[in-house]
Structure 1
Amino acid sequence: MTLIHQALLFDSPSAFLAAAIPFVREGLHRGDTVLAVTSAENEELLREHLDNDTERVSFLSADGWFDSPGRTLNAHHRRIDSLPGSTGILRVLGEPVWAGRDPLETTEWGRYESVMNVALADARAWLMCGYDRRSLPTAILDDARRTHPALAVGTGSEVSAAYADPASYYAEHNVPLLERPTSGVEWLPHFVDMAPVRQFVADHAVRLGVPADRLDDFTLAVNEVATNAVRHGAGHGEARMWATDRRVVCEISDAGTAVDNFLGFLRADPHAGRGHGLWIARQICDLLEMRTDGPGTTVRLHMRRDI
């Protein structure tokens, strides 16, 4: 089987249950691995209507599962890799978390929903993603139709007429990066090896708000991206770091040009000797932005501040 990726747009508890309960029960009947990663209200509904089947479903926190785009994608990979046998599939009844997201986070989570169609294209997985029409903005509901090839309708499915090719969707969202702050930006103007980069992170990251227990991880992520800048750019790069209200940002720029739209979203062959850097960085960081154009390539690594 190949990936099935559906959006469930619902406007009432009954509409949610009409699609969700058959989806879960069919999976349990087939022996699939079934995850429910929904709002607390919908988890309660599921538990009420699944009766004795509740114990066979793994209920997970939506806030924990939808923590960062890179980590959520890798969580799917790990679950798929651990599927028993050769016939069962991973079924995820999910409800992406949109409340409290800022515009950048909302954009990157939309990009994640689209990239899933490429990253998991050959996976043994069926993902049904719930969108509550009563609370979500129209723009997010419209985007759901563009990032999911199919729409769940009752116990059936229909093709989403608005579905956008992931490469086109990805390019469309490559808008210019936000301007850097006019003050408070630390700058490493030139590096050709990694020791100055790691020292740069050590000097500034925690002071700007990176939690102390995430410093080593942040340093590793920056090191991976900076290594790419030296290897694939002009042999050198520059780094900047600053804080926003919510996150610490480390920006690595170089003179090279990247050509793959999905860099860091597609898991590299574990046996390959290279090509893992951006994938690792996406697992560690809360957000990662990447833009490439005539002057070169810029990567911004975002880590939530300790506030």
Structure 2
Amino acid sequence: MTLTFDHPALLYNGLDEYTSVVGAYVRSAVTSGDAVMVAVPEVNLTPLRDTLTDVRAEVVFADMTVAGRNPGHIIPGVLLAFAARHPGRHVSIVGEPIWPSRSAIEYPACATHEALINAVFAGRDASILCPYDVTGLGQDALADAWRTHPVMITREGRRPSPSYADPIETADRFNQPLPAVPPEADIFPYATAQDLSRVRAFVADRARKAGLPERRIDDAVTAVNELAENSIAHTDGAGSIALWSEADCLIVQADDHGIFTDPLAGRVLPPLNVPGGRGLVLVNHLCDLVRVHRRPDGTSIRVHLHGLQL
């Protein structure tokens, strides 16, 4: 049997249309015996859950503003994790990773996620419906929805997207330069494995001084150590860490001269018998946002951790 993956985008206008169309999708999936998850922002989650009282017990609900706060975590930590809990069953998921209050710095990671779903789930027995708010989102985001989804659902019905393109090439459209590192950032260079302990100490010290809670300092230290360790293992070894704070957020950027070649790195766990390949998945799990920029002369990876106590 050939397994097919269905990845439509729903362009919805208003809450009534949202709950009607998404509710019908969920009920149909439950009736078909699918494993069903709804992962959408809380503003839509509560009214949708309230309209699904007849099938609510058969559905897993998740607030995407929490579970998907980092778009890079959604594929491994939400979608694939749910599918793995239901081997042998068709899974139907409502996933809404892009909403109007997503920031401009988050958006390229969101659009990259939407494109790469098609590569990760190709050949899997799954359906993922992605709602898009046509009144709250800008025209660029709606145009990207047509590029990243093979099928679109509008008021006129369901039809193939004429703008859909190869998911890897589409994801590469969002390989956008990061904002400049501010001049006040603390910089720490590294070159060998012997430098890693000093990298960890540097991050812990600066994160504590910036006001990051103790429970999150370990997250910052572990994430940055993984980035530096990857640089040392897979490049000429020379790299640097830049660290600063903005509003309630600690930001760390790792720069090296390695060429980032695997677009799915950090999205898919390798088989258990394959060593390595899990570092960026862990970084995506620990951080509130991860942005990757592949430069002509190397790679920049910037991570955000919220919660500074100012």
| TM-score after normalising by structure 1 | 0.89
1:145 CA drift (Å): 1.4
Q: Which amino acid aligns with 1:177?
A: L
Determine the structure 1 residue equivalent to 2:24: 22
Determine the structure 2 residue equivalent to 1:189: 189
Query: What's the CA shift string for 1:165-211, capped at 9, x where partnerless?
Result: 2222222222222111122x111123412111111111111222433
Q: Is the 8 A contact 1:35 1:57 kept in 2?
A: yes
Equivalent pairs counted in the alignment come to 304
Q: Which amino acid aligns with 2:192?
A: V
Distance 2:56 2:281 in 1: 35
Distance 1:50 1:127 in 2: 18
1:267 aligns with 2:269: yes
Q: Is the 8 A contact 1:90 1:124 kept in 2?
A: yes
Q: Is the 8 A contact 1:90 1:125 kept in 2?
A: yes
Q: How does 1:290-301 map to 2 (within 5 A)?
A: 290-301=292-303
Q: How does 1:276-291 map to 2 (within 5 A)?
A: 276-291=278-293
Q: How does 1:160-171 map to 2 (within 5 A)?
A: 160-171=161-172
Determine the structure 2 residue equivalent to 1:10: 12
Q: Which amino acid aligns with 1:274?
A: G
Q: Which amino acid aligns with 1:162?
A: S
1:42 CA drift (Å): 4.5
Q: How does 1:1-307 map to 2 (within 5 A)?
A: 1-39=3-41, 42-43=44-45, 46-47=48-49, 49-50=51-52, 52-73=54-75, 74-83=77-86, 86=88, 88-153=89-154, 157-183=158-184, 185-193=185-193, 194-307=196-309
Distance 2:46 2:274 in 1: 44
Change (3 A) 1:47 1:192: closer
**Identical-residue share of aligned pairs (%):** 29
Of the structure 1 ranges 163-172 and 289-298, higher mean CA displacement relative to structure 2 is found in 289-298
Unmatched runs of 5 consecutive residues or more in structure 2: none
Distance 1:278 1:57 in 2: 30
1:104 CA drift (Å): 0.9
Of the structure 1 ranges 11-20 and 191-200, higher mean CA displacement relative to structure 2 is found in 11-20
Change (3 A) 1:275 1:37: closer
Of the structure 1 ranges 195-204 and 158-167, higher mean CA displacement relative to structure 2 is found in 158-167
Query: What's the CA shift string for 1:46-101, capped at 9, x where partnerless?
Result: 456545223322333232232211322221111101105x2x22211233352332
